[in-house]
């Protein structure tokens, strides 16, 4: 593990190469030796953005962002309790009476 605030050399080098690739892609004559940079630069930038976002998320303590065992649309016990308290505060004993 790296110390907090330390730069990742490999990521900085990859970003630098991506910038150089972008400059080459936009200034090289069409059909030359560097024509491959036209097709590789954008995916390279997207990959680096994804890696950077993942690293920033983990550094911020974001974890996976999904509670274990909870699927999309399922209510966790804490969320179900909060909804029940909201209905009671609104004067609705159950969901059906609040909808109609």
Q: Say which residues have a Cβ less than 8 Å from residue 4's Cβ, sequence separation at least 6.
A: none
Q: Which secondary structure element, helix H or strand E, spans residue 70, and what is its range?
A: none
Note the pTM of the prediction, 2 decimals: 0.52
Higher pLDDT, 90 or 64: 90
Structural domain includes residue 90? no
Q: Is residue 71 in some structural domain?
A: no
What's the domain count of the chain?
Answer: 1
pLDDT over 70 at 10, yes or no: yes
Which residue did the predictor score with more confidence, 38 or 11? 11
Q: Is residue 24 part of a domain?
A: yes
The confidence band for 98, taking pLDDT boundaries of 50, 70 and 90, is low
Is residue 52 one of the residues assigned to a domain? Answer: yes
Domain residue limits at 24: 8-60
Mean pLDDT of 69-85: 56
CB 25 within 8 A of CB 12: no
Look at 93 and 23; give whichever has higher pLDDT. 23
- Give the C-alpha separation, 85 to 23, whole Å: 58
Over residues 67-74, the mean pLDDT reads 52
Cα 100 to Cα 98: distance, rounded to the nearest angstrom = 6
């Amino acid at each position: 593990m790296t110390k907090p605030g330390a730069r990742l050399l490999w990521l900085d080098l990859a970003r630098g190469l991506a910038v150089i690739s972008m400059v080459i892609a936009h200034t090289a004559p069409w059909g030359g030796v560097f024509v491959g940079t036209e097709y590789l630069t954008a995916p390279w930038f997207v990959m680096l953005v994804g890696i950077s976002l993942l690293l920033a998320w983990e550094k911020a303590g974001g974890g996976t962002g999904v509670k274990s065992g909870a699927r999309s649309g399922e209510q966790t016990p804490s969320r179900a309790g909060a909804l029940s308290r909201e209905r009671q505060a609104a004067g609705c004993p159950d969901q059906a009476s609040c909808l109609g």
